[in-house]
Amino acid sequence: MLPIIDRHVLKQVSLPLAGALVIGLLMLLADRMVRLLDATLGKKNSFTAVFEMLAYLVPHYLGTAL
């Protein structure tokens, strides 16, 4: 069990950290999404393919955002 001060600091830091990670991840993925949409626009199931490719890129960009 963590001491009370450690739990307090962890609770105070975790929410802003998670918010910053989500915003950073969305910014990195937005650029890639534009490129993927440009490459796949007009093809069948293009949106499904784009979101699938973006899902595969999330771990890489999450590491970059960290």
Q: Per the structure, how many domains does the chain have?
A: 1
Q: How does pLDDT run across 40-60, given as a tens digit for each residue?
A: 888 887 788 888 999 999 999
Q: What pTM did the predictor assign? A: 0.72
What pLDDT is recorded for position 47? 82
What pLDDT is recorded for position 46? 79
At 61, list the tokens: 């960009």
Four-point Cα dihedral 12, 15, 18, 22, nearest 10: -140
